[in-house]
Chains A and B, each alone.
Chain A
C-alpha cells in the first residue's frame, strides 16, 4: 500500500476496501486467511491445538513481541476452524495476572506460604523425599499425575516414580475420567482405543450416544453428529437430562442414573428376540456370545422399563432402530463410566455393537469421548498405577523386562503395581503414604467425598504440588512449584480418536516458571538418578518413549514430530517409521486379543452403591457445563467464561416445588450445599444435577460418594442418594486462591457474588442483566 493510500490513525476502517469491491455476498468463506494474516504487522501465528478437552481442536496462537495476544481459527482436520468458548478463551491463561511466577513454600505444615527460591524449594523437596523414604520405606512417597500434560510429560511421570523414587505409588487423574472405558475396551477388544475417526460418523445411519453431554463437553465434535443427521442419520441420546443434543434427538432415552447396564441388556434382549443379530460376525469375530445371549434373556422390555424408569415401547423402538440399520455408531462418556459398575456398563454397550457387527467399518463405529486433552495419550505410557509405557502391564514379566532394559535398570528394581488415586488418598489418611508429589491435578475439587480427601492431604507430612495458577490443592501444599501452560512447551497429545497431534511452543514461560519435565529431571538429578533423566528437550523424551512403547499395544515407535506436523495427526498403533498409522483398528473384524477375536462379557445389572431410600429419595448426578473445564482451575479466572457461568446451581424438575433462584439445600450422607435452583422440565423428576467445577463450600464433590468400580477403581460420581430441602441462603462462590498478599484478578464484570442460577445449563443469556 502506498503512503498516500495508508489509512490515517483513528480513521474509520471501511475505506480500506473500496465500496463495492469487497462484496460480502460474493466473498469465499473457505479460503485460508493468508491475506488477512499478512496484514497484521509483526504478528506470528503459531499452529497448535487447544489445551482443553479430548477433541483437541487445532488453533493458531497470535504472538507478537513474545506475548500471546489472541487466537485465530485453524483449518485442522479435526475441527475445521471451529472452536468452543473455552477454546476461544484458552489463550487468556498465558499472561493472566494470577499466574504463579516463583516457588512458594511453608516452613511448617500450618504456617503461611511465602516466596522462596527454586534452590531452596528443590532442596526442601529432595530432603523430605529422602527423609520420608528412608524412615517409612520407598512406597511412603507417592506421585499423582494428570492427563492434561503432554505424552512426553506423562511418560516421564511414570519413569520418575519408578526409577528416581522407586515407589509403587503413582497414579493420575484419568482415574476419575477414562479408566472404566479403558478397562472395558481392553477386556473386549484387547486394546484401549476408539474404533474409528470421527469423520466416519458422516456415513452412519443410527447414532446412540450414552451418558455424554457432547454439546457442552465436546462442542466441536457436534459438527460430526449434526453432519451425520444432515445425511439422514437417526440419533438416540441416553441421558437423564434433556441436553442440547437430546433436545432434537429422534429418541431421548431419559433413564434413571445408575441403570445403564439394564438398558443395554434390554436392547440386546429385543435384538435377539427379533432375530436382528449378525450371526456371521458373532461366529467369525467374537468369543463368549452364548453367555451374553442367555443373560439378556431375562431383561425383557417390561422389566428393563421398570428398572430404568422408561416406557418399554421405547426400548423396543431403539432396539429396532439399531438392529435394522446397516451402519450404527455407539459413543459414550462419563455418564456410563463413572459408576460402581462402570466397566460393566461399558461392556454391556460393547455387547450390543458386537452382537450386531457394528464395528470396524466406515459408519459402523464405537468409541468413548475422552474428557481430558490428553486423556488417551496420558494413560498409555506409564503414569497409571498398573501400566508401563506402550500400554504394557506392570505385572507381566516380559513387559517389565523390556521396559527395565530401555531404562537401564534391573527388572527387580522396578516397583510392582500400585493403587488407584482414591485408594492413595485413603492410604494417606492411614499413614501408609506420608509424602506426595502432585502435578496437573486438583483433587480438592475433582475427587468425590471431599471430607475424606481433605483428611488424606491433611495427614501428609510433606506435599509438593506444581501448577500455573494456585489451585485449591496447591494452596494446601508445603511447596508449590510454578509450572507452564501448554503454550509454553511442545509435545504430543492423543485425542479421543486415538490421533496423535502436537502442541507447539508459542512463548517463553513467565517469571521463574519451569515445565513439569524440567522439574522432574532436576529432581531426579538431585536424587542421584540424573543419568536416567538427561533430557534437554521434549523431543529427546519422545525418542526414548518411542523405543519404550515399541512392540507394546500402544506402539508409538513410528510417530515423530515431523510426521505429525506433515499430516493431520497420526493414529496409533504406528509401529514403524514408514507406517501410516491406524485410523480404524478394528477394520475387517480384527481385534487385539491373541486370537484376533473380540470378547463378549455377560453383565448383570446391579443397583448403584447407594440407592435412594426414604431418607434420601432422589438421585444426585454431576457433570460439566460448557464454559468450565474439570476442576475449574483453568477456567474460573477467565472473565468471559465466568461471565457466562459464574457459579454452580442445582437443576430440579418443576414437580419438586421450587422456583428459579430459590436456595435449595442438597443433602447427602456426606455433606450439604445450598445452591440456587434452576427449575427445568429437561431433567427427570427423580434426579437432580449439580455441575462439579467449583471448590470449597460449594463443591459438588462434597456430596458425591467414593464408592469405586471394583475393576477400574473409578468413583461413582454419576449417582448417589440425596434429598433436597428449602435452604436459608445460597452458598457464595469463594474467590480462587492466591499467594499471600495477592488478590485474584478482578474483571470489570465480577459476577462471583451473584446468587442467581444461569438462564440455562449452558450459561447466562447475554441479555440477562
Chain B
C-alpha cells in the first residue's frame, strides 16, 4: 500500500544535483550526500536519474536481513533506518546486499551511511529535503493520488525484479501508464 512516500520520476530529471546538494545539508551527515545521481546515458543524452533508498518492504529490507550486528532497524512506520552508529561494525554486508546500490561505507569511520528518508523531517510531517528542493518534481513526496492529480497518465510502480527475485518497495518510481509489470532491476 503506497501512502505518502517518495516517487522517482526519471523522465523529469534534469540532472542538476539539487537533491545531492540538499542531502549534504542534513545535520546528521553534513557534507555527505546519501543520494546517488547517475548520468545514465552518457555520450548520447543528458539523461540523469537520482537513486534514494527505496525502503524495501517485501521481503524485509535485504540490508537489514544481512546485517550481522542488527544495526539496521526498520521502524514500525516502514522506514529502513541508517545503521545505528553504536552497533554498525562497518562490514559492508548491506552494501553488497542492497539491490539498488544505496548504502555507502565510510571506510575511514568504518560506518555505514544511507538515506533514512530524512527521518528528522518526515517523522514530523515535512517532506524529505531532496523532494522539497527538486526543481522538476523528479523526486516527488506525496500520495499516489496527489501524484496522479499532478501528472495525468503517470503510473507509480513499487515492484522490481532482480533475476528471479521480486522486491516490493516503500518508495516507488514513475513509469508511463502503458508500462506493465515489475521494473527490471539492473544487475
Q: How far does the alpha carbon of A640 sit from the alpha carbon of B25 in the complex, in Å? A: 10
Judge whether B133 and A83 touch: CB under 8 Å.
Answer: yes
Residues of B within 8 Å of A306, CB to CB, are: none
Partner pick for A87 among B2, B18, B45, B150, CB 8 A cutoff: B18
Asked whether A88 lies within 8 Å of B4 as measured between CB atoms, the reply is no
Q: What residues on B are CB-neighbors of A660 within 8 Å?
A: 43
Q: Does A614 contact B (CB under 8 A)?
A: no
User: How near does chain A come to B25, taking the closest CB pair, in angstroms?
Assistant: 6
**B-chain residues with CB within 8 Å of residue A222 when the two chains form the complex:** 14, 135-136
Given contacts A12-B84, A626-B16, contact A682 B132 (CB under 8 A): no
Interface segment, one of A26-34, A403-411, A706-714: A26-34
Within 8 A of A (CB), among B37-54: 37-39, 42-48
Chain A residues 733 to 749 lying within 8 A of chain B, measured CB to CB, are none
Q: How close is A51's CB to chain B, nearest CB, in angstroms?
A: 15
Report yes or no: A82 in contact with B16, Cβ–Cβ below 8 A: no
Partner of B4, one of A24, A244, A761, A765: A24
A560: interface (CB < 8 Å)? no
CA distance A763 to B50 in the complex (A): 14
Instruction: Tell yes or no: B155 within 8 A of A by CB.
Output: no
Partner among B24, B25, B81, B170 whose Cβ is within 8 Å of the Cβ of A14? B81
Quick one: which of B1-37 are within 8 Å of A by CB? 1-5, 11-18, 20-22, 24-25, 27-28, 31, 33, 35-37
A223 beta carbon closer than 8 Å to chain B = yes
A85 touches B14 (CB 8 A): no
A762 touches B126 (CB 8 A): no
Contact flag A679-B43 (CB < 8 Å), given A27-B4, A29-B131: yes
Task: Please measure, in the bound complex, the distance between the C-alpha atom of A215 and the C-alpha atom of B48, giving whole angstroms.
Answer: 12
- Give min CB distance, A609 to chain B, whole Å: 29
Q: Closest CB-CB distance, A3 to chain B, in whole Å?
A: 21
B100 located at the interface, meaning its Cβ lies under 8 Å from any Cβ of chain A in the complex:
no
Of the residues A216, A221, A247, A766, contact of B20 by C-beta under 8 Å:
A766
- The segment from B59-67, B90-98, B116-124, B159-167 that touches chain A is B116-124
Q: Are A35 and B124 in contact (CB under 8 A)?
A: yes
Contacting residue for B170 out of A25, A81, A626, A760, CB 8 A: A25
Q: How far is the CB of A96 from chain B (nearest CB, A)?
A: 15
For A640, the chain B residues whose CB sits under 8 A away are 20-21, 24
Q: Flag if A763 contacts B15 (CB, 8 Å).
A: yes
Q: Which residue, of A30, A33, A88, has the highest number of chain B Cβ atoms within 10 A?
A: A88
Whether B122 lies near A762 (C-beta < 8 A) is no
Contact of B120 among A13, A216, A220, A762 (CB under 8 A): A13
Q: Is the CB of B44 within 8 A of A680?
A: yes
A643-689 at interface with B (beta carbon < 8 Å): 644, 654, 660, 679-682
Q: Restricting to A44-92, which residues have a CB under 8 Å from any CB of B?
A: 70-71, 73, 81-85, 87-89
A566 interface residue, CB < 8 Å from B?
no
Q: Could you tell me the distance between the alpha carbons of A35 and B121 in the complex, rounded to whole angstroms?
A: 10
Tell me if A230 counts as interface (CB < 8 A to partner B): yes
A692 to B147, CA, bound (A): 38
Residues of B within 8 A of A245 (CB): 14
The answer on a CB contact under 8 Å between A81 and B133 is yes
Instruction: Check A219/B14 contact, CB under 8 A, given A25-B170, A644-B20, A682-B45.
Output: yes
Known: A25-B5, A29-B131, A36-B121. A247 touches B46 (CB 8 A): yes
Q: From the candidates B5, B20, B43, name the one contacting A85 in the complex (CB within 8 A).
A: B20
Contact of A13 among B16, B25, B119, B129 (CB under 8 A): B119
Please tell me if the beta carbons of A767 and B36 are within 8 angstroms of each other in the complex. yes
The answer to whether B46 and A14 have CB atoms under 8 Å apart is: no
Q: Which residues of B contact A226 (CB under 8 A)?
A: 12, 136-137
- Tell me, in angstroms, the Cα distance from A13 to B132 when the chains sit together: 21
B136 near A83 with CB under 8 A, answer: no
Choose one: B22, B47, B77; the contact of A88 (CB below 8 Å).
Answer: B22
Q: How large is the interface on B (under 10, 10 to 19, 20 to 34, 35 or more residues)?
A: 35 or more
Is B157 located at the chain interface by the 8 A CB criterion? no
User: B18 near A84 (CB under 8 angstroms)?
Assistant: yes
B125 contacts the other chain (CB 8 A): yes
Contacts known (A219-B135, A762-B15); A24 close to B150, Cβ less than 8 A: no
Shortest B177–chain A CB gap in Å is: 13
B84 x A230 contact (CB < 8 A): no
Which residues on the A side are within 8 Å of B2 (C-beta)? 25
Q: How far is the CA of A14 from the CA of B72 in the complex (A)?
A: 12
How many Å lie between the Cα of A157 and that of B101 in the bound state? 54
From residue 59 to 113 of chain B, which have CB atoms closer than 8 A to chain A? 73, 75-79, 81, 84-86
A71 touches B17 (CB 8 A): no
* A86-102 with Cβ < 8 A to chain B: 87-89
**Chain A contacts of B38 at CB under 8 A?**
765-767
Q: Is B127 an interface residue (CB 8 A)?
A: yes
Asked if A531 is at the interface of the complex by the 8 Å CB criterion, the answer is: no
Of B3, B22, B45, B125, which contacts A31 at CB under 8 A? B125
Task: Compute how far the CA of A39 lies from the CA of B120 in the bound complex, rounded to whole angstroms.
Answer: 11
Q: Return chain A residues, CB-CB under 8 Å to B47.
A: 244, 247
Known: A17-B124, A19-B75, A681-B44. A24 touches B5 (CB 8 A): yes
Interface: A42 (CB within 8 A):
no
**In whole angstroms, how far apart are the Cα atoms of A226 and B22 in the complex?**
21
Quick check: A82 and B135 within 8 Å, CB to CB?
Answer: yes
Contacts A84-B16, A222-B135 given; does A26 touch B3 at CB 8 Å: yes
Establish whether residues A244 and B120, one from each chain, have CB atoms under 8 Å apart when the complex forms: no
Confirm or deny: A23 has a beta carbon within 8 angstroms of a beta carbon on chain B.
Answer: yes
- State in angstroms the CA–CA spacing of A81 and B139 once bound together: 13
* A25 and B16 within 8 A (CB): no
Question: Chain A residue with minimal CB distance to B140?
Answer: A29
Contact B46 A17 (CB under 8 A): no
A12: chain B residues within 8 A (beta carbon): 84-86
Q: Which of B11, B33, B146 contacts A248 (CB 8 A)?
A: B11
- CB of B134 within 8 A of chain A? yes
Residues of chain B lying within 8 A (CB to CB) of residue A763: 15, 17
Would B48 and A762 count as touching, CB distance under 8 A?
Answer: yes
Can you list, as one digit per residue, whether each of A199-225 has a CB less than 8 Å from chain B (1) or not (0)? 000000000000000011001111100
Contact B22–A36 (Cβ < 8 Å): no
Q: Is the CB of B135 within 8 A of A24?
A: no
Which residues of chain A are near B120, meaning CB under 8 Å? 13, 36
- Residues of B within 8 Å of A28, CB to CB, are 4, 125
Give the chain B neighbours of A682 by CB distance below 8 A: 44-46
- A16 interface residue (CB < 8 Å to B): yes
Closest chain A residue to B9, Cβ basis: A226
CB neighbours of B3 from chain A (8 A): 23-26
Q: Count chain B CB atoms within 10 A of each CB in A27, A35, A87, A216 and give the residue with the most.
A: A27
In angstroms, how far is the closest chain A Cβ from the Cβ of B74?
A: 10
Q: Is the CB of B117 within 8 A of A24?
A: yes
Report A233 CB to chain B, min CB distance, Å: 12
User: Do B133 and A73 have beta carbons less than 8 Å apart?
Assistant: yes
Q: Does A511 contact B (CB under 8 A)?
A: no
A88 touches B42 (CB 8 A): no
The reply on A314 being an interface residue by CB < 8 A is no
CA–CA, A226 to B134, complex, Å?
Answer: 13
Within the assembled complex, what's the spacing in Å between the Cα atoms of A373 and B89? 48
Residues of chain A within 8 A (CB-CB) of B85 are 12
Kindly list chain B residues whose C-beta atoms are within 8 Å of the C-beta of A89: 21
How far is A243 from B45 in the complex, measured between Cα atoms in Å?
8
Judge whether B152 is part of the interface by a CB distance below 8 angstroms.
Answer: yes
Q: Which 4 A-B pairs have the closest CB atoms?
A: A25-B3, A19-B76, A22-B123, A215-B14
20 pairs across A/B with beta carbons < 8 Å?
A24-B117, A82-B133, A84-B133, A85-B17, A89-B21, A216-B14, A219-B14, A219-B136, A223-B137, A244-B47, A245-B14, A626-B16, A627-B17, A644-B21, A660-B43, A760-B46, A762-B15, A762-B39, A763-B15, A766-B36
Q: Which residues of B contact A (CB under 8 A)?
A: 1-5, 11-18, 20-22, 24-25, 27-28, 31, 33, 35-39, 42-48, 73, 75-79, 81, 84-86, 117, 119-127, 129, 131-137, 141-142, 146, 150-152, 170
Q: A36-B126, A83-B18 are in contact. List 12 more A-B contacts (CB 8 A).
A: A14-B75, A14-B81, A23-B77, A25-B78, A29-B142, A82-B18, A216-B16, A219-B18, A243-B46, A654-B43, A682-B45, A762-B14
